[in-house]
Structure 1
Amino acid sequence: MKPSLSLEPVVGPNWHYAAELGITDIVAIRDQTDEVPIWDLPVLERVKKTYEDFGFRVAVLEGWVPFDSFRLRKPDADLDLKRMIAVIENMGKLGIGVLCYSWMAVNNWTRTSTATPTRGGALTSSYDHAVSERDPRSRQGIVVSEDLLWETLEQFLKAIVPVAEKAGVKLAIHPDDPPLSPLFGVGRIMRSVEAFDTALKLVDSPANGITFCQGNFAAMNADVPAAIRHLGRDGRIHFAHFRDIVGDAYRMTETFHDAGKTDMLAAMRAYRDIGFSGVMRTDHAPVMWGEDNGKPGYKSLGHIYAIGYMRGLMEAVAADAGR
């Protein structure tokens, strides 16, 4: 297992912290306000070189490719697919091994508060479905069905998995966040362990795999260590998000990584037992004293704390295995 941080492709404080923490394999994410056309090979080469010049290896791309037209079967669906094929081919040429993507249409990860107090006065994000239900969008009826999303996911996988196999790239689908349906009239399909079983069977290939985001599986009320063993039994967990919550999909609060509902040591043992050797990045850390809350969940101090906690758990399970 490789501890990791997510870094946008502009050098900043988190790049220095990552280097000081001994992080070598990073997750490249983009600022959602900018479109970076990495379906053009020279663009992705420049992005990769920016990280490499700082001493990092790009192990995972996450959240780079706009894809709602394909998910929703809109007129530009073919363009979305053409770009995604090019991105995966480019990743193969450049040795970037994992693409993290989701099937959340219209609404990405959603919270009803990003300033909920938690331990010591740190600020975290939370979700209360009762608040969402009062939103006018929740009274518009179903505008995107789950059936449509299952159909387009199957079309996507049948088109993309052969490309990924040829390129040597692994696809890693992320859970819905929060894992409930509908949300503001939009269906959500990746919200249970059984849904992930179904997605893996749509195209049964080692290239068709999972981003195991622990916080979302906890919000499903899944037994997280058991789910890791079940979904990762044949090597289909390609990427992991180290995160925890209290509550469930309908009412949940993000926590410090040592303060949620999941037995994190048991989860780390489960990763060891399935032979997971991929990248695990910290995710959605509380904003701590002295930090502004401009990017909730993605400031520095909570992630630095989480890396130390993650490393301690990894060392503990490695020591267990050596006894």
Structure 2
Amino acid sequence: MTGRVGMKLAEMVPSAPEAAPLARLVVQAGVGWAVGGLPQTVGADRRGTDAPWDYLPLLSMKKRYENAGLRLAVIEARPPLARAKRGLDGRDAEIDAVCTLLENMGRLGIPVWCYEWMSDFNWLRTDTAVPSRGGSLVSGYDHALMQQAPPVEAGPISEDELWENLEYFLRRVVPVAEKAGVKLAMHPDDPPISPVRGVGRIMRSVDNFQRLLDLVPSPVNGITLCQGNFRLMTDDIPAAIRKFGEQGKIFFVHFRDVRGTVENFVETWHDDGPTDLYECLRTYREVGFDGPMRPDHVPTVEGDSNVNPGYSLYGRLFALGYIRGLMEGVERDGRAGTRPAQADRDGALSVG
């Protein structure tokens, strides 16, 4: 390739003051980009009837990241969308809140919104303390156990209904996102299996992600390529990266791995899974991906807490170091015969 290409190494960092030590650590580890949630609208941020997606709370949150040495690349949280996903009365008010969020992200230069279309519950695991290497802990999923769980109280919803409701949602928000200059990055269902407790799941295959892109074609309608979920959809992650990367539709990457099948899997250390992660990064470079990428669902290691499974402190540091090493190797390999790639000050390993 020619030109300047940079994969932006990012990390999920809460904006709350108590997360300041984590922010300092990830900056010390070479990260320049933050993935945030929605701000708390209490205390100093509370101004009248401001909601988390209003301008002033988002402005304050962005400033906190900047003061910590991080640039806010992604908001990975959503206003309530339960009614929108089920097509219920009141969905338009929920969609209005999303439109407000996107407009304010555009005003503040926050480029990517990561969302999902999982009705009734988000990501699911049947065990969050599976023993892994050296006594570390990872999460796992066994669909046979989940099938014994009762149906959700709201009742079943079909995949066809979810597609219909998603199209309604996108036709409302895509024009707003286009005007704001904010990219919509759909996250896969986790796990990508359907149905679960009577609830259909539609973002569960490579073909369905292409259907998403074709449903409402737009430069801002794209995906979060969560490698753990895509690994359960296909054995060829680099092919999926090429498919969507060549369309310019990968806006955000969750860099992780799993071992097993969609019905029974465990998460792995980044250096111990079945996927060739070096080849994945090489393919991202090949297709010109220059967006944010964060490690996801890291192991809990000795001396760390498993209160928030998948997001332990020491596990993150291992993952960040491993990914930085892979990135540098990919960039050096791709620049054979020229000066070595270097990490620039924003945490992106760049080519050019």
For the superposition of Structure 1 and Structure 2, which TM-score range results when normalised by the shorter chain?
over 0.9
Pairwise CA distance, 1:196: 0.4
Would the aligned equivalents of 2:39 and 2:52 in 1 still touch at CA under 8 Å? no
Matching residue of 2:16: 10
Aligned to 2:200: 187
2:118 corresponds to which of 101, 104, 107: 104
In the TM superposition, residue 248 of structure 1 has moved relative to its aligned partner by 1.6
How many angstroms apart in 1 are the aligned matches of 2:253 and 2:267?
17
Task: Answer whether contact 1:60 1:99 (CA < 8 A) is retained.
Answer: yes
> For 1:246-271, what per-residue CA distance to the aligned partner results, in whole angstroms no more than 9, with x for missing partners?
01210010011111121101111110
What's the secondary structure of 1:276's corresponding residue?
A: coil
The match for 1:77 is 91
> What residue is the counterpart of 1:241 in the other structure?
254
Match of 2:54 in 1: 40
How far the C-alpha of 1:44 sits from its partner, in A, is 1.0
Question: 1:272-319: CA deviations, max 9, x gaps?
Answer: 011000100010001101112100001111111111111111111111
**TM alignment of 1:294-313, pairs within 5 A:** 294-313=307-326
Q: CA deviation at 1:141?
A: 11
Structure 1 letter corresponding to 2:253: A
Q: Quote the residue 1:114 is aligned against.
A: 128
Superposition pairs of residues 268-307 of structure 1, within 5 angstroms = 268-307=281-320
State the match for 2:213 in structure 1: 200
Q: CA deviation at 1:63?
A: 1.5
Q: SS state of the match for residue 85, structure 1?
A: helix
| Distance of 1:289 and 1:37 partners within structure 2 | 39
Structure 2 matches for 1:11-160, cutoff 5 A?
11=17, 12=19, 13-30=21-38, 37-137=51-151, 143-160=156-173
2:334 corresponds to:
321
* Equivalent position of 2:346 in the other structure: none
Give the structure-2-normalised TM-score: 0.88
Q: Is the 8 A contact 1:141 1:185 kept in 2?
A: no
Maintained 8 Å contact 2:224/2:254: yes
Secondary structure of 1:5's partner? strand
Q: Which residue of structure 1 aligns with residue 45 of structure 2?
A: none
Could you tell me which amino acid in structure 2 is paired with residue 232 of structure 1?
Answer: G
TM-score by length of 1: 0.95
Contact residue 218 and residue 261 of structure 1 kept, 8 A: no
Q: Contact (CA 8 Å) 1:97, 1:169: kept in 2 or not?
A: yes
CA drift at 1:127: 0.1
Counterpart amino acid of 2:120? V
Letter in 1 for 2:300: V
Secondary structure of the equivalent of 1:81?
helix
Question: Per-residue CA shift, 1:192-219, capped at 9, x if unaligned?
Answer: 0000000000111110000000000011
Alpha-carbon spacing, 1:279–1:141, altered in 2? closer, same or farther (3 Å): closer
Given residue 190 of structure 1, which amino acid in structure 2 is its aligned partner?
A: M
Residue 30 of structure 1, CA deviation: 4.8
Note the residue ranges of structure 1 that are not aligned, 5 or more in a row. Answer: none
Query: What is the Cα-based RMSD across aligned positions, in Å?
Result: 1.8
2:240 matches 1:232: no
Give the structure with higher Rg (CA): 2
Greater length-normalized contact order (CA 8 Å, ≥ 6 residues apart): 2
- 205 and 279 in structure 1: CA distance in 2 versus 1, 3 angstrom threshold: same
The question of whether the paired residues in 1 share the 8 Å contact of 2:39 and 2:61 is answered with no
Give the fraction of aligned pairs with identical amino acids, expressed as a percent. 48
Runs of 4+ residues deviating >4 angstroms: none
State the 1:29 CA deviation: 2.3
Deviation at 1:31, TM superposition (A): 8.9
Seen in structure 2, the aligned counterparts of structure 1 residues 30 and 289 have a Cα distance that, compared at 3 Å, is farther
More displaced stretch, 77-86 vs 59-68: 59-68
| 1:108 counterpart SS class | coil
